[in-house]
Amino acid sequence: MMAKLVGVLAAITFVAALGLGFVYQKTTPKIEAQKRITDEVAMRTALPQAACGVFVKHETDSLTYYEGYRYPDTTGFVGYVVRASGRGYSSTIETMVGVDPSGRITGLKITHEQETPGLGTRIEEVRSTKTLLDALKELVGKGNPPVVAVTIGDSTESKCIEVIIKEASACACLDSLIALEDTSKVCNIVPRAFSLATKDSALCLSNPALTFEVAKKVMQKLREQQTPWFLEQFIGKSKANLLVVAGKTDRYIQAITGATMSSTAVTSSVREAITKLERAVGGFKEEKP
């Protein structure tokens, strides 16, 4: 009787293990693909100057970082992106950090946190509680459609393209398609998402690469409007200014009331990541006066 029971339990365990293995095999590629998309969006948020360009990965013994370029042919170097990680109150907080060649922060994006709701989670709280999609719906619902102006090209030849937002849901779809570098689908959705209200409109719509560039820059501007207020404090600062203080400050980082540990975790981890990056790249370039 005991041998029969052991056999049944062994069979159940074997079948369960096979099932878990099958599920793992099927879901792992999708999970990894989604993580790549998340990281890609985070990098473009952290270093918006490379939003229409490319990121080149570098690895050392102690650090993985990315060089960001303005153009897909790896010309027009604009800075670096590095991942920061620090222990908060109830979770490990992971952040993607962008810095320009002089070491000043260009942007941040929280990629993982499980802090206390209403306290530590405020590190991702935007001034408005609306999502990007909600904000777009509100804008589109107003009497005058919103206009977003972006500049494309280089210093020798540039064009200002004015984009009129038409459909909120279509704009929201562009984010994931842009991260996937799916030019054809982006070009298909762009006419639904917005119209181009300049004399260069026809040129943009007839040129897939140009349409893709415009879509990237428009979505980047819209995302900037949804930057969490806590993270916005970091932009433009160097590592010397990454100190948490209790009161209102322009020079340092103001802690979130009731979430000092979360505030400190982000600030300290970003400062440490920038320090490691500075060593890895042989120092930052001094800003020109």
Q: At 26, is the secondary structure helix, strand, or coil?
A: helix
Q: How many CB atoms lie within 10 A of CB 189?
A: 19
- Residues 27-34 have a mean pLDDT of 63
Q: Kindly indicate the confidence band of residue 87, based on its pLDDT and cuts at 50, 70 and 90.
A: very high
Task: Please classify residue 77 by burial: count the beta carbons closer than 10 Å to its beta carbon, then call 0-12 exposed, 13-18 middle and 19+ buried.
Answer: middle
The model's pLDDT over 155-210, given as tens digits with 9 standing for 90+, comes to 566 777 777 888 777 777 786 677 667 888 888 888 888 876 655 555 666 788 88
Query: pTM above the 0.85 mark?
Result: no
Q: Measured between alpha carbons, how far is 249 from 89 in angstroms, rounded to an integer?
A: 23
Using the predicted structure, report yes or no on whether residue 247 has a pLDDT greater than 50.
yes
**Confidence (pLDDT) at 8:** 66
pLDDT digits (tens, 9 = 90+) for 93-127: 999 999 999 999 999 999 999 898 888 888 988 76
Number of helices (H) and strands (E) in the chain: give both, helices first.
8, 10
- Residue 90 in this model has a pLDDT that exceeds 80: yes
pLDDT of residue 125: 80
pLDDT at residue number 131: 56
Which token pair is 281? 């790249």
Would you list the DSSP string of 140-173? HHSSSPPEEEEEEE-SSSEEEEEEEE--HHHHHH
Return the percentage of the chain with pLDDT > 90, whole number. Answer: 31
CATH 3.30.2220 placement within the chain: 132-224
**What is d(CA 34, CA 55) in angstroms, rounded to the nearest whole number?**
18
Class of domain 132-224 (CATH, top level): alpha beta
Contact predicate 186/174, CB 8 Å: yes
**How far is C-alpha 32 from the chain's CA centre?**
17
- How sure is the predictor about 289, in pLDDT bands with cuts at 50, 70 and 90? very low
- DSSP element (H, E) containing 57: strand 54-59
- Token code pair at residue 79: 């800075």
